[in-house]
Structure 1
Amino acid sequence: MSLLRKCKLCIDVSHSALWGYDPVESIKRYKDQLIYVHLQDYANYSGGDGESYDVNWVDVGSGTVMDFPKIMTTLEEIGYDRWVTACPGQIEDRSDQERMQVNRGYLQQLGY
């Protein structure tokens, strides 16, 4: 983390949560180094504590863990104006375009 003045930081909010960190607090703490935000959601997981994670990835907004309204509001509050991407879940067989439309529709419902 001491080298962030040079390399900057991407926060994947789902990985932050999986590793026991609050995504909103991570965004606030590293706001000066933040260059990219990755939105991803999950319903549950197993593993960790030295084991590989087995994660049930779902569409953004479909999980039970992430608070995307608060995450997006926090990005606004800190004046974040860089890239934000959303990763579709892997819950059903559909085209990439269909998967992205689900995430885009959810974020539009939130006003983004």
Structure 2
Amino acid sequence: MKLGYQTNTWGGVVGHPAGVTSVKDLYYLANGSTEQAARDIASAGYKGIELFDGNLAEYENRQDDFRRMMADLQLTLVGVYTGANFIFRDILDEEFAKIEKVAKLASEFGAEHLVFGGGAVRSGGIQESDYEVLAQSLTRAEEIAVKYGLTPSYHPHLGTCVQAPEQLDKLMSMTTIALCPDTAHIEAGGGNPVTVMRKYIDRIKYVHFKDYKDGQFLPLGEGDQNFAEMLSILQGANYDGWVLVELDSHQDPLQAAQISKSYLQDTLNLA
């Protein structure tokens, strides 16, 4: 397995302000320096990075700068994370205009994975029909990713209509898209990440490891997640892809990356 790290720890997670009034511009952003994040991730011993779609878009007209940085640091662009509401038919074309742009750019930069999050929760609560539209939207998203040579996955997330285990089961039964389990979000949503990974191992092509305890997202080894069992499930399925460590924020991003790397190396025997 190969080890990568998300850049979102550097600056935390925000959204592009233009998205408030323009759906096509609604990107995720890590509100820090991508260059600093990449340097720190490489120095901590990881071989790849994942970016939010908005941070990737910042290099749309500076592609040589990005490629030079990645070559100098000997890093691989593992994946790009994007998202959408996915349930409101009137804005789907605008959302997919953004997704198509992100997929094209990710492909040009050599990314392997395109990860989708989303499934909005209405002000009046979730409607059963929302899952049907979400499933249809993810099929469309999957087709776009494949068109650009990317591996698509769905990432369950708190604050969406797919955060609880029964919600994930419902969506998975309605789609063919691969699952990118974020282990901490699964637990925070009331699920057991070991159970989820065992149940859907045949649909896992990419993994986000993040620890969790008492309502907090933590570096690996500082929470209660059973990563050894998760790793055993992956190994039993001959999984040889990327394990991507992700942490939404930390007072010392480099230290957090180092803590997780030491845990992966010393406890799980992943170099």
* TM superposition score category, shorter chain reference: 0.7 to 0.9
CA contact (8 A) 2:205 2:241 kept: yes
Deviation for aligned residue 1:75: 1.1
Deviation for aligned residue 1:37: 0.8
2:255 aligned with 1:98: yes
Deviation for aligned residue 1:87: 2.1
> Residues 98 and 80 from structure 1, CA distance in 2 versus in 1: closer, same or farther, beyond 3 angstroms?
same
Deviation for aligned residue 1:90: 4.1
Deviation for aligned residue 1:34: 0.9
Distance 1:108 1:44 in 2: 25
Deviation for aligned residue 1:89: 6.9
Q: Which runs of 5+ in 2 are unaligned?
A: 1-171
CA contact (8 A) 2:184 2:217 kept: no
Deviation for aligned residue 1:19: 2.0
| Letter paired with 1:59 | P
Distance 1:42 1:12 in 2: 11
Deviation for aligned residue 1:66: 0.7
List aligned pairs for 1:1-112, cutoff 5 A: 1=172, 2-4=174-176, 7-45=177-215, 56-63=216-223, 65-88=224-247, 90-91=249-250, 93-94=251-252, 96-109=253-266, 110-112=268-270
> Residues 15 and 88 from structure 1, CA distance in 2 versus in 1: closer, same or farther, beyond 3 angstroms?
closer
Residue correspondences, number: 97
Distance 2:202 2:182 in 1: 16
The answer to which structure, 1 or 2, has the higher relative contact order (CA under 8 A, 6+ apart) is 1
Deviation for aligned residue 1:111: 0.6
CA contact (8 A) 1:28 1:78 kept: no
* TM-score relative to the length of structure 2: 0.33
Distance 1:21 1:79 in 2: 24
Q: 3-state SS of the aligned residue for 1:75?
A: helix
Q: 3-state SS of the aligned residue for 2:222?
A: coil
Q: Which protein is bigger by CA-based radius of gyration? A: 2
Distance 1:58 1:97 in 2: 13
CA contact (8 A) 2:206 2:242 kept: yes
Deviation for aligned residue 1:62: 0.4
* TM-score relative to the length of structure 1: 0.75
| Letter paired with 1:3 | T
CA contact (8 A) 1:11 1:38 kept: yes
Q: 3-state SS of the aligned residue for 1:66?
A: coil
Q: Which runs of 5+ in 1 are unaligned?
A: 46-55
Distance 2:191 2:217 in 1: 18
Deviation for aligned residue 1:104: 0.7
Q: For the aligned residues, what is the CA RMSD? A: 1.8
CA contact (8 A) 1:28 1:74 kept: yes
